[in-house]
Amino acid sequence: MPKNLFPLDSTKSFKDQDIVGHNRWHPDIPAAVTVNPGDTFRIDCREWFDGDIKNDDSAQDILEAPVSKVHALSGPFHIKGAKPGDLLIVDILDVGPIPQEDEGPLAGQGWGYTGIFAKNNGGSFLVDQFPDAYKAVWDFNGQTATSRHVPGVSFTGLIHPGLMGTAPSHELLKKWNDREAALIATDPNRLPPLALPPEPKDAVLGTLTGDDFDRVAAEGARTAPPRENGGNQDIKNLSKGTRVFYPVYVDGAHFSVGDLHFSQGDGEITFCGGIEMSGFIDVHVDVIPGGMDKYNVKENAIFMPGNVEPRYSEWISFSGTSVTLDGEQRYLDSQLAYQRACLHAIDYLTTFGWTPEQVFLLLGAAPIEGRFSGVVDIPNSCATVYIPTAIFDIDVRPGAGDVPKIDPGIGAPRAANA
């Protein structure tokens, strides 16, 4: 085990640790730890809601999940000598749930959760079909996940950090805040909102205090979206063995990481869709001086996925196009096409006995693949979603015989506003 440079105590809140991380992006958040290019080290990570979501059979915590608290990020790590214009190399050597704790109240202690966010709390990819909150708790058995809330399935986790990135420069931060404010201004009261503006409430900003804290809390970008610096990309393939290259915008790069997932389907479609957990990540960092110009990488991470992803060989797959459920034709809208493909998967799998929300939770959590199949065939995009058949206890392939039925058990807990 490499040296742990960012240890977290599972019995304490994220704000009460010896080293305090952050949950906003801002160049003025001080480095928590300084390392050298070439260093290998461990980082503990806290689950994104800092323990607010419980291992129980209620979705009330999902309904009320305080979005202002996310994401609990470990960092910033200052990489000595890294300069704006460099590329930061991050090798993911290992990543997993909390290693010394197999049970306990904190996600990552042998379990994790997936939530469908309610419409009035951010919503999900299928918010119109699923306006209420739902939760599934997943148990970890080695690298396998199962859930009492979604019986009849098990799958091998493709463990990865949902969020990694470098600090923005002041200039880049301003660009973010400006463009997102402009979007929000087009429909400021929309539910769910179009974007999340800076929010001082619940801001955690490392060692900052006083006026500096207040200023940075008022300016800091929220961590929900991926942006030029990487950020919350939710790329399920950033698993063990992956090498990622990030643009460097500030001296020392100021790398941060969090939002570990035991598994996730492409798109993280339930919003809280991967299997959320606390855990650790072992990384090796290095720098390509001048790499942004050298390789013409102005923004966004580039990466090379690792070679130990779970091997599946058979999929049941669904397609969708950019026509709304109401029959309206949209122009080359892959977002909509993927929604329709996912809805088709839900329609299909419910014939085997699962409830729609159980399938939706499964699609958010299992290693499904979502692909852009056709993006130019006017006016319809075609999107496809691939579900490994081996994750089901029953045979879910279409055929001539009777449709086997699963017992949906206690179902997925639901919570809705009055």
Footprint of a second copy on 148-177 (CB under 8 A) = 156, 175
Q: How far is the CB of 171 from a second copy (least distance, A)?
A: 12
Q: Is 10 in the site for a second copy (CB under 8 A)?
A: no
* Torsion of Cα atoms, 134 then 68 then 336 then 385, to 10°: -60
Q: Coil, helix or strand for 284?
A: strand
Q: Is 185 in the site for a second copy (CB under 8 A)?
A: no
How is 118-172 classified by DSSP, letter by letter? PGGGT--TTTTT--SEEEEEEEEETTEEEETTSTTB-EE---EEEEEEEPPPHHH
Among 169, 350, 404, 415, binds a second copy (CB under 8 A): 350
Q: Residue 260 and residue 258: Cα distance in Å, rounded?
A: 6
Q: How far is the CB of 66 from a second copy (least distance, A)?
A: 16
Q: Are 394 and 406 in contact (CB under 8 A)?
A: yes
Give the orientation angle of helix 356-365 with respect to helix 334-350, to 10 degrees: 120
Among 273, 279, 408, 413, binds a second copy (CB under 8 A): 273
With contacts defined by CB under 8 A, name the span among 26-34, 128-136, 201-209, 341-349 that binds a second copy: 341-349
- Enumerate the β-bridge partners of residue 372: 383
Among 88, 216, 384, 408, binds a second copy (CB under 8 A): 384
- Tell me, what amino acid is at 24? R
Among 100, 201, 209, 211, binds a second copy (CB under 8 A): 100
With contacts defined by CB under 8 A, name the span among 19-27, 72-80, 363-371, 405-413 that binds a second copy: 363-371
Q: Are 116 and 365 in contact (CB under 8 A)?
A: no
Among 142, 210, 211, 418, binds a second copy (CB under 8 A): 142
Q: Is 414 in the site for a second copy (CB under 8 A)?
A: no
Considering beta carbons, is residue 194 or 218 the nearer one to a second copy? Answer: 194
Among 371, 404, 415, 416, binds a second copy (CB under 8 A): 371
Considering beta carbons, is residue 74 or 380 the nearer one to a second copy? Answer: 380
Q: Are 280 and 262 in contact (CB under 8 A)?
A: no
Q: Are 382 and 321 in contact (CB under 8 A)?
A: yes
- Enumerate the β-bridge partners of residue 155: 145
Q: How far is the CB of 351 from a second copy (least distance, A)?
A: 5
Q: How far is the CB of 174 from a second copy (least distance, A)?
A: 12
Among 29, 31, 90, 92, binds a second copy (CB under 8 A): 92
Q: Is 207 in the site for a second copy (CB under 8 A)?
A: no
Q: Pairing relation of β-strands 279-288 and 87-97?
A: antiparallel
Near a second copy in 25-64, by CB under 8 A: 40
Q: Residue 35 and residue 337: Cα distance in Å, rounded?
A: 44
Among 209, 211, 378, 418, binds a second copy (CB under 8 A): 378
